Amino acid sequence: MQRDELSDQERAILDFEAQYWYYTGAKEKEIRARFNLSPTQYYLRLSHLLDRPAAMAAKPAVVRRLRSQRESRDAARSWRQNYRPER
């Protein structure tokens, strides 16, 4: 496999993320069952995957949505860390 190609597991992760989950707990259970990864390991792997051009080529709509969600979380986290209430 070349560096710019996705593994079967990476493709499966993108397909999995294309689904909509109503309950976080159900998704986390399925992550453990399907990928044999803890949710922390899964989301770390997903985050790295989103930065790969091959992921964008394979599932552009999913990757754009997930990148947007990640950027929103990062912006909110940054805002909370820098927030200083006026007195």
Question: Which pLDDT tens digit goes with each residue over 25-49?
Answer: 899 999 999 999 999 999 999 999 9
This prediction has a pTM of: 0.78
Q: How far apart are CA 16 and CA 20, in angstroms?
A: 9
Q: How far apart are CA 31 and CA 10, in angstroms?
A: 13
Instruction: Determine the number of helices (DSSP H) and then strands (DSSP E) in the chain.
Output: 5, 0
Q: How confident is the model at residue 79 (pLDDT cuts 50, 70, 90)?
A: low
User: Pick the residue with more confidence: 74 or 25?
Assistant: 25
Percent of the chain at pLDDT > 90 equals 69
